[in-house]
């Protein structure tokens, strides 16, 4: 994987031979990278890292100098280009009505402000359920990722080196499960010989499937909405205080306001799922990375030892290039919560 360092105006500086490159691609949040180069190759003007081989472009945000018996090295790290959207916030209040992909695209266009080189692509042409929601003050990329996750879509900012443009786009990975016929299927299992160093977890310790969302006003006049993912079964109830979501009759009907509260509940329930997660090292045999499968694709996963068979999206791809070796680890399903994240949700 070849890296080209660019300056703050996206002008080329130098190709970077690297000793250790970690390229972590994410579907539901901004990805990140870390690369070690010889100190002699570093130029303080380096601002971005571009590669023709991947859709991501890195923003150099941290520079560290280290020295050992082999010499002096510089470690460059940072987030990918989607992070520039978090330089902006959603303010004044954004009132959305329509499909999630379409309303996120409109939000990006409305609040991207003066980000250089950036245009926003049209939303994917697809049938999608419509809803209403509002946002005040959130960072632009974070809001977009949260909303898009509810419909299994993602966000990326793709830099076109030849055209010198950045395109923000809403997208969705391909369905490669065996129940569809449009795309060639991909299955990760012992039977296919591509399930290496598997770590599997199922965590329901924070599980909630029903949200009571309380909007503006007090006591008996308080406006309420409900987000129900129980499927008619036993309800694990979560209370969501959305008193900060204000109803402006000049901007929304009451029905749109209540639909927005319901969407707020669905957003919150993302933090309280039964988390089914599979970490594996993709074997070199079988299905090929970037040809047969990629980040965001929905695939079949079978782990016979614990009787697990599920369809899951590839939510993380961790690539490591070191000493002429390239390893790929993938995470499928839901992002695991750390103990700190769980504590924040509880308290």
Token representation of residue 190: 């012992």
Facing residues of 279 across strands? 199, 331
Q: Does the domain spanning 84-171 belong to CATH 3.30.450? A: no
Regions of the chain where pLDDT drops below 50 = 337-347
Residues 6+ apart with CB under 8 A from 219: none
What is the rounded distance in angstroms from the CA atom of residue 34 to the CA atom of residue 302?
A: 32
**pLDDT value of position 155:** 99
**pLDDT value of position 300:** 93
**pLDDT value of position 276:** 78
Rama region for 217: left / alpha / beta (φ>0; ψ in -120 to 50; rest): left
Sheet harboring 154-160: ordered strands across? 118-120, 165-171, 154-160
**pLDDT value of position 344:** 38
CA triplet 335, 341, 346: central angle to 5 degrees?
120
Question: How many CB atoms are located within 10 Å of the residue 8 CB?
Answer: 10
**pLDDT value of position 309:** 87
Distance of CA 161 to the CA centre of its chain: 23
Instruction: Tell me which residue of 163, 197, 138, 146 sits closest to 328, measured CA to CA.
Output: 197
pLDDT tens-digit profile of 228-263?
999 999 999 999 999 989 899 998 999 999 999 999
- pTM recorded for the entire structure: 0.86
Instruction: Tell me which residue of 288, 16, 319 sits closest to 176, measured CA to CA.
Output: 288
Integer distance in angstroms from the first to the last C-alpha of the chain? 44
DSSP string, 187-204: EEETTTT-EEEEEEEEE-
Report helix, strand and coil shares of the chain as percent, to nearest 5.
Answer: 20, 40, 40
CB-count exposure of residue 315 (10 Å: 0-12, 13-18, 19+): buried
Residues 6+ apart with CB under 8 A from 118: 84, 112, 157, 166, 167, 168
What is the rounded distance in angstroms from the CA atom of residue 112 to the CA atom of residue 139?
A: 11
For the chain, the residue count is 347
Distance of CA 82 to the CA centre of its chain: 10
**pLDDT value of position 142:** 98
Instruction: Tell me which residue of 83, 91, 89, 38 sits closest to 60, measured CA to CA.
Output: 83
pLDDT tens-digit profile of 169-188?
999 999 999 999 999 999 99
**pLDDT value of position 191:** 82
**pLDDT value of position 285:** 60
**pLDDT value of position 163:** 98
Instruction: Tell me which residue of 225, 212, 216, 228 sits closest to 259, measured CA to CA.
Output: 225
| Contact (CB, 8 A) for 302 and 191 | yes
């Amino acid at each position: 994987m070849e890296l080209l360092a660019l300056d703050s105006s996206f002008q080329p500086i130098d190709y970077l031979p690297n000793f250790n490159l970690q390229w972590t691609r994410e579907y539901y949040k901004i990805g990140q990278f870390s690369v070690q180069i010889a100190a002699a190759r570093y130029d303080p003007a380096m601002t971005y890292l571009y590669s023709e081989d991947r859709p991501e472009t890195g923003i150099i945000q941290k520079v560290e100098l280290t020295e050992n018996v082999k010499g002096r090295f510089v470690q460059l790290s940072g987030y990918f280009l989607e992070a520039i959207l978090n330089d902006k916030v959603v303010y004044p209040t954004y009132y959305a009505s329509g499909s999630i992909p379409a309303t996120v695209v409109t939000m990006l266009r409305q609040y991207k402000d003066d980000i250089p080189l950036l245009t926003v692509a049209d939303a994917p042409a697809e049938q999608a359920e419509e809803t209403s929601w509002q946002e005040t003050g959130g960072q632009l990329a974070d809001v977009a990722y949260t909303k898009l996750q509810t419909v299994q879509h993602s966000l990326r900012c793709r830099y076109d080196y030849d055209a010198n443009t950045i395109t923000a786009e809403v997208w969705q990975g391909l369905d490669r499960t065996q129940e569809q016929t449009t795309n060639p299927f991909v299955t990760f299992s012992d039977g296919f010989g591509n399930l290496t160093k598997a770590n599997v977890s199922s965590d329901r310790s924070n599980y909630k499937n029903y949200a009571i969302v309380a909007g503006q006003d007090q006591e008996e006049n308080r406006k309420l909405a409900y987000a129900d993912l129980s499927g008619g079964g036993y309800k694990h109830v979560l209370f969501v205080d959305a008193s900060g979501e204000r109803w402006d009759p000049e901007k929304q009907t009451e029905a749109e306001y209540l639909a927005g509260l319901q969407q707020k509940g669905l957003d919150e329930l993302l933090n309280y799922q039964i988390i089914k997660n599979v970490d594996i090292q993709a074997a070199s045999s079988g299905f090929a990375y970037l040809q047969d499968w990629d980040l965001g694709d929905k695939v079949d996963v079978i782990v016979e030892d614990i009787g697990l068979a599920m369809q899951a999206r590839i939510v993380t791809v961790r690539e490591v290039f070191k000493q002429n070796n390239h390893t790929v680890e993938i995470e499928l399903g839901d992002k695991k919560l750390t103990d700190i994240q769980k504590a924040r949700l509880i308290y």
